[in-house]
């Protein structure tokens, strides 16, 4: 019998925001895989570190941290390494920052493995709700609509979508911040905006959008555009 592939959401950064289920599965599985930068520590592994038992087989999936298409060859190789364990009957847990299916690179492993092996996804606290909690304002209530928009979209693409939503989250802000600030000001949204970087981590930063001129935003930062009218 083949092993089971687990996509495990480890949450946004604070290890205490891991779920009981994630912790339980990590205590059981013999093999743990996770995305990692070219060099240095994996953020997903760092979040889960205290719950990975000694002596587990570990598979770091080294993905270059630059923009651009994900190199398919990296996921082909990682999927093969994981499939090797699954074929041998060993369960494999893939650690995913936030939630596995919300902008997670787990999608690329899922594409390659889920039709061949039993697979379970354990949802995690996503950066979306972690940033809202850090920002201290509800994302959406009642009949409000919410747009999730990557910052890589062009100005016209962002405008068109922001125009028809009550609230929005612009994700993966990073180097796009300097372009986004005047765009959001032009749309009259600055006053409704909150900038949140590295929510729930030690270096969490929360700022009203009006105070973000000149700051350097990391890749894992988000701009939340809240409901129009304070209730």
Q: How is residue 82 written in tokens?
A: 């994981």
Contacts with a copy of itself, 63-102, as mask; x by CB under 8 A: -------x----------------------------xxxx
If one asks whether residue 6 binds a copy of itself (CB under 8 A), the answer comes out as no
| Contacts to a copy of itself from residues 145-184, by CB under 8 A | 145-150, 152-153, 160-161, 164-165
The residue within the footprint of a copy of itself, chosen from 19, 74, 204, 219 (CB under 8 A), is: 19
Q: How is residue 21 written in tokens?
A: 């289920």
Closest C-alpha to 27, from 5, 58, 53? 53
Q: What is the DSSP string of 194-211?
A: EEEESTTSTT-EEEEGGG
Strand bridging mode 167-171 / 221-225 = antiparallel
Contacts with a copy of itself, 198-227, as mask; x by CB under 8 A: --x---------------------------
Three-state secondary structure call for residue 37: coil
Q: How is residue 227 written in tokens?
A: 């409901």
Q: How far apart are CA 141 and CA 92, in angstroms?
A: 38
Contacts with a copy of itself, 122-141, as mask; x by CB under 8 A: xxxxx-xxx-xx--xxxxxx
Residues that bind a copy of itself (CB under 8 A): 7, 9, 11-12, 14-21, 23-24, 70, 99-108, 110-111, 114, 119, 121-126, 128-130, 132-133, 136-150, 152-153, 160-161, 164-165, 200, 231
């Amino acid at each position: 019998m083949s092993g089971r592939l687990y996509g495990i959401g480890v949450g946004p950064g604070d290890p205490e925001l891991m779920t009981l289920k994630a912790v339980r599965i990590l205590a059981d599985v013999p093999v743990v895989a996770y995305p990692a930068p070219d060099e240095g520590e994996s953020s997903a592994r760092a979040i889960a570190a205290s719950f990975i038992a000694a002596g587990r087989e570990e598979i770091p999936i080294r993905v270059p941290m630059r923009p651009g298409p994900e190199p398919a060859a990296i996921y082909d190789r990682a999927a093969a390494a994981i499939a090797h364990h699954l074929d041998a009957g060993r369960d494999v847990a893939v650690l995913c920052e936030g939630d596995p299916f919300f902008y997670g690179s787990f999608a690329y492993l899922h594409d390659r493995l889920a039709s061949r092996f039993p697979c379970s996804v354990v949802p995690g606290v996503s950066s979306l709700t972690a940033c809202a909690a850090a920002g201290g304002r509800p994302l959406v209530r009642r009949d409000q609509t919410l747009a999730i928009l990557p910052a890589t979209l062009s100005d016209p693409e962002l405008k068109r979508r922001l125009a028809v939503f009550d609230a929005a989250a612009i994700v993966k802000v990073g180097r796009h911040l300097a372009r986004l600030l005047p765009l959001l000001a032009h749309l009259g949204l600055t006053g409704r905006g909150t900038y949140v970087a590295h929510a729930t981590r030690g270096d969490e930063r929360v700022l009203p959008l009006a105070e973000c001129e000149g700051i350097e935003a990391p890749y894992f930062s988000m701009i939340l555009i809240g409901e129009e009218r304070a209730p």
